[in-house]
Each structure stands twice: as structure tokens, then as C-alpha cells.
Structure 1
Amino acid sequence: MSFLDEIDDEARHAGLDRAVALADTPPIFDWLVTTFSFQGISDRVARDYINKHGTASWSAIEASERNAPSCPKLRSYWHFADCRYDKTSFTCSEPDHIDACPLPRPHLRNGRLNQTAYSLFLFVRDLADGDLVGWIDRQLRSAKGATRPELDAARQEALIGPLRNVYGVSDKILMMTLSTLLIGVRKDRPLWFETGTAMIAVDTLVHNFLHRTGILQDCGSSHAYGAACYAPGGCAEIIRTVADRIDARTLNPVFSKRFPRFVQNAIWRLCSEDGLNLCNGNRIDDRQACQIGYCHLYQKCGRIPLKMAKTDAKTVA
């Protein structure tokens, strides 16, 4: 029930509400880059590393770009492709320029994050004219759709589509971060709130829940975790369909009636170690049906093993 409160706390702590009101790009960029650093590793490890070593910032990257770095990859967003910087080996695709290159200077956890920071900076500078707030406003206004689901999908794609080409960010991380940003500044921009509430971030916990419960099978949408989760009939569409049948205001009167992002988050909380810690690989032997009899969903759950036994797999084949 505290879902919005948690988002509001994060938005205030990062200064996102003020930054959006003033169309101030740097604080938003700094928050995005920091948030991207949490992918692929536990929050605790990522947070400890950032507290010790810091993260990339708009001001530092902008200053380095004003000095006209010699590497041709840093000339523009379009030139940046195939940088291939590797922190461990200190190599890249332009080895003659690496000693003077500013990209490795932020002491980030790995070289992919350095590339992400510079790729996002160049995207905002070159495609959004340095105005991330204005770019989001324009992208959302340009989206069209005959029905609410079509409009939601068009608005999401208007944002996610271009940002998908920023190095090192997946649909999942984009959905999570943008949803928090869009929902966290809802007082000044209702359109942002409408878009953020419809964004769904499907991680392995959410996908595996839909598999174990038999929902994917019942919907005729059995698939492996990945891009198919966002394809027609995939996990995201199933969650949106469920959200259409739930009036979220009965759970919290300040919620919007239709709140797919909250429904997805509720599934995640059921599964996550940081939440109810029920439906996950730590509690369930993935080769067998779930045996957690005290789970509220036990009697209705399909309890389908996540991994088929080798004999079953051969039979299916």
C-alpha cells in the first residue's frame, strides 16, 4: 500500500520533482545513471560500491566533452556505437586514444556502465537538445491511439523505443526507471503519471511466477524469459489484462483506478527476498511442484515446475 510513498521518497531525495519543474536535465541524468548501476547485481552490493567510488555525473561528462576528446567515438551519439571499452583489460575499439579518453575516468563497477553513462549523455545532448524534460513532453504528446491500451502502448514506445538504443539498458530497466520518474512527478504532469502507471517491468521473478502458477500456460503464452515477455500475449500484456479487472482504488484511494505498474510490483513483492519471499528459487525446488502450503494462492495455483525433468523434456520433444 506504500508503493506511491516509496516512489515519492525517492523522487524527493533525488530532487526529481524540482528538476522536472525547472526542466533541469543534470539531476535527472545523474539519477538515471545511478539507477542503471543497480542492474545485474544486488542492491546492497551496488549501493556499497557507489558509496565508496561515486558514480558518473552530467557535469563531469559535459566538462570532458568541452575539452574535445580526440576519440572519434565521442564526437556524437551516432559515432559512439561499438566503443567496446573494457575496464579489466583497459582496452577499447580505439586503442590509440584510450590513454587520453575521459570515458574510463568515472570509477564505475564495470566498463559497460561507463559506456552507458556516455551513451545516455550523448543521446540527451544530441537527440533531446540537452532538455530531457522537453523531450519526454514532446514524445508523449506525439503518441496516438484509438483505445486506452493502444495509447498506453504508443506512449511507452515513444519513450522506450529511442532510449532502447542507449548502450547497456534493457526494456526492463527502462520501464522501472522511467515509471518511477513519471509517477514521482505526477503533481505537475498528469500525462506523465498516466504513462508511468501503465509501465510494466518484467523481471525473472515476475515471469517465473506467471509460469509456476500456470497463468502462461492457461493463456496459451508459454515462453522463455526475454523479449517475448513484452511481445503480444506475453507477460506484460497478461498483467495489463489483469489490471483492467482490478480497481486499485479499493486498495488505496489515492491510486488510479487502473494501475498495471502496481499489479506488477505486487507480484514482484510476493516473490522477492525483500518482499514476502515466497515464490522464488530459494524457496521452491524448480524441478518439482511448489510445496508451500501456507501460501494464500496454493489452492488456486497450477504449481508447475519451472524446469522440466529431462525425461519429460524428451517426451515433449
Structure 2
Amino acid sequence: MLDEIDDEFRLAGMDQAVASGNTPPIFDWLLTAFSFQGISDQVARSYMEKHGTASWAKMEASLQTSPSCQKLQTYSDYGSCRYDKGSFTCAEPDHIDSCPVPRPKLRNGRLNQTAYSLFLFVRDIAGGDLIGWIDSQLEAATGSSEADLEATRQEALIGPLRGVFGVADKVLTNALSWLLIGARKQRPIWFETGKAMVVIDRLVHHHLVRTGILEKCGIPHRYGPGCYAEGGCAEIIRSAAERIDASSFNPAFPKIFPRFVQHAIWSFCAADGLDLCNGNRIFDSEPCQISYCYLFRICEKKALNLHNFKYLRYS
């Protein structure tokens, strides 16, 4: 996992950017990471290869001409832009012809809004210095225990960024953990935060349901906010990480490495990984029949639809 992150860091020039405090490469990488939400990685990657992405340099230049739309004046003004690519409409249609928001050829209008919202956040809230902002947010965080400090540091980053249009906790946590882990050589405190971030997507949630782990070790729930609540998927994975010596897999890993444990579960399920425990191979209404799966003998092979029925009946 570290090799994959390090390769991506070097390719994007982010190792040098973090070391020198250069915001644009970090910003450009985050925008690219946000573009993978809501669609398969392959489709998102193909679209970006064909049409390109938004960038700090182009967006900075587009706003230097002082757009007429008042929503583009500051980060706090930008809410409710409502730009729609298909209909070419927005909340201020009198200004759309000269507006820079539609110019990047992104996959949909929501991503265009995300790009400008994030740019204004970094410019106005972080003072144009994203690396320095992350440093100060993490250093100011306090906690009565290691677990409390980790949670406080995560919230110090994710909390303010929740205001950026179109990026929920899962998207933010996924991108930020990769960034923080990749910067471990220059910023050890970043790694301490990133290694504890756990991302629960549908693959991970459904795996915990199908195997019976969620029912035995946590509180059954639908995919969503319950995954991060008490007794949810994230808590189960963190508890498991405390019982797994991650350094036995790689001496460069810390002994307790929740992000690695979560990523391993995701890799076990994902089509880009081992491609075993997912909806393409298992009907939601039936128990798993993949007898060659490594976990088949100990898995409870629960049907997803049965789990959802029980949840709706008793919640």
C-alpha cells in the first residue's frame, strides 16, 4: 500500500510540493481524487484522460478578472451556485455567459462547483497555503488519550472542509488519508493522523454484513452515517486493527494501522483488487456460493437483502 501511495506522490510531484510548501500540486491532486466519486475508477480516469481536469493555475487566472457574479467573490458567498452542465443553468443566469465555473470540461456540473468551492476555501480560509493550514490545524488539536487525539486531529481537517461543495466525509477521508500517509517522511504528524482514518464504502460495509461480522461485533445498520456511529463499521475495523500487528506485513508499517486493515478489506472485495466479495459475484438476495473464497468456511454467508429487511423491521 505504501508503494502505491509513494508512486502516486512522486508522479504528481507532491513529495516536493509538501517539502517546499507549494500548494498548487496538492490542490490539483485533491481535485482529481474528488473526481472519482459516484462512478467507477475506470470511467472517471478515462474521462479525465480525454477531457483534462481543473487546475489551480487556470482557476486562479480565471478569477483575477473579477467575475461579475457575486457568488464568486469569496468562499462564504459561493453557496448555492447550482451550476448544471446539461441545461447550462445556474442560480445567477444573467452572469453565466461570462462565468468561469463552466469552463473546465469536467464530468458533471457538481464537479465544477466542487472545484471552485475548494479553490475559494484554500484561497480565503487557508490563506492560499494548504500545507501550512494542515500543519496548524493538526498542531492545534488536543486530546486526553491517543484515540481522542487522533479523532480530534481528523475532525480539525474534515470539519472545515465539509463546507466545500460536493465532498462528503467519505470522499474527504479517503483523499486526505492518502495525502497524509504519503507525506509521512516530511510530516510525521500527518502520518499519525492519516493512518487512523478509516473509509467505509459500500464494499467494506457489505463485506461486514455478508460475513456476519457486523451482526456479531457491532450494531446492524444500513450503509451510511451508521457506519461511523457507535458499534458501526469503522469502530469494528479500528477494534480489529488493535489486534493485528501490521508491521508483520511490512516493517515500515506501525503496529496499529486502521487504514491498512480497511484498505485490505476493500482490496479483498474490489474489482480492482481480488474481486471476491462484491455484488458482481454474489446476488444480494442469496448467500454467497463462491466456494474457492479464502473465507468461505468461516464466513456466515448472509444475504444482503435479508439484512436490510431485518434492519427496516426492527429499527
- TM (normalized to structure 1)? 0.96
Q: Which moved more, 1:12-21 or 1:230-239?
A: 230-239
Structure 1 residues 308 and 137 mapped into 2: Cα distance closer, same or farther (>3 Å)?
same
Identity among equivalent pairs (%): 64
AA at the equivalent of 1:142: A
Separation in structure 1 between the aligned mates of residue 286 and residue 149 of structure 2, nearest angstrom = 41
- In structure 1, the partner of 2:176 is 178
Write the deviation string for residues 22-46 of structure 1: whole angstroms up to 9, x where unpaired.
Answer: 1111111011111111111111211
- In structure 1, the partner of 2:200 is 202
User: Matches of residues 255-270 of structure 1 in structure 2 within 5 Å?
Assistant: 255-270=253-268
SS at match of 1:273: coil
Separation in structure 1 between the aligned mates of residue 107 and residue 134 of structure 2, nearest angstrom = 29
Contact 1:56 1:108 in 2 (8 A): yes
1:214 aligns with 2:212: yes
AA at the equivalent of 1:42: S
Separation in structure 1 between the aligned mates of residue 34 and residue 162 of structure 2, nearest angstrom = 13
Separation in structure 2 between the aligned mates of residue 53 and residue 5 of structure 1, nearest angstrom = 28
User: Matches of residues 162-173 of structure 1 in structure 2 within 5 Å?
Assistant: 162-173=160-171
Q: Which moved more, 1:43-52 or 1:78-87?
A: 43-52
User: Matches of residues 44-63 of structure 1 in structure 2 within 5 Å?
Assistant: 44-63=42-61
- In structure 1, the partner of 2:280 is 282
Separation in structure 1 between the aligned mates of residue 206 and residue 124 of structure 2, nearest angstrom = 39
SS at match of 2:150: helix
Q: Which moved more, 1:283-292 or 1:9-18?
A: 283-292
What value does the CA root-mean-square deviation take over the aligned residues?
Answer: 1.7
Runs of 4+ in 1 over 3 A off after TM superposition: 309-317
User: Matches of residues 48-197 of structure 1 in structure 2 within 5 Å?
Assistant: 48-197=46-195
Separation in structure 1 between the aligned mates of residue 312 and residue 96 of structure 2, nearest angstrom = 51
SS at match of 1:166: coil
SS at match of 1:308: helix
- In structure 1, the partner of 2:26 is 28
AA at the equivalent of 1:4: L
AA at the equivalent of 1:231: A
- In structure 2, the partner of 1:237 is 235
AA at the equivalent of 1:125: R
Where does structure 1 lack aligned partners over 5 or more consecutive residues? none
Write the deviation string for residues 92-136 of structure 1: whole angstroms up to 9, x where unpaired.
Answer: 000111111011001111000000000000000111000000100
Residue 232 of structure 1 and its aligned partner are, at CA, apart by 2.3
SS at match of 1:10: helix
Write the deviation string for residues 197-232 of structure 1: whole angstroms up to 9, x where unpaired.
Answer: 111111100000111111111124111111221122
Structure 1 residues 46 and 315 mapped into 2: Cα distance closer, same or farther (>3 Å)?
closer
Separation in structure 1 between the aligned mates of residue 30 and residue 311 of structure 2, nearest angstrom = 42
Separation in structure 2 between the aligned mates of residue 123 and residue 316 of structure 1, nearest angstrom = 42
Contact 1:287 1:309 in 2 (8 A): no
Contact 2:247 2:253 in 1 (8 A): yes
Write the deviation string for residues 235-273 of structure 1: whole angstroms up to 9, x where unpaired.
Answer: 111111110111101111111111101000000011011
Where does structure 2 lack aligned partners over 5 or more consecutive residues? none
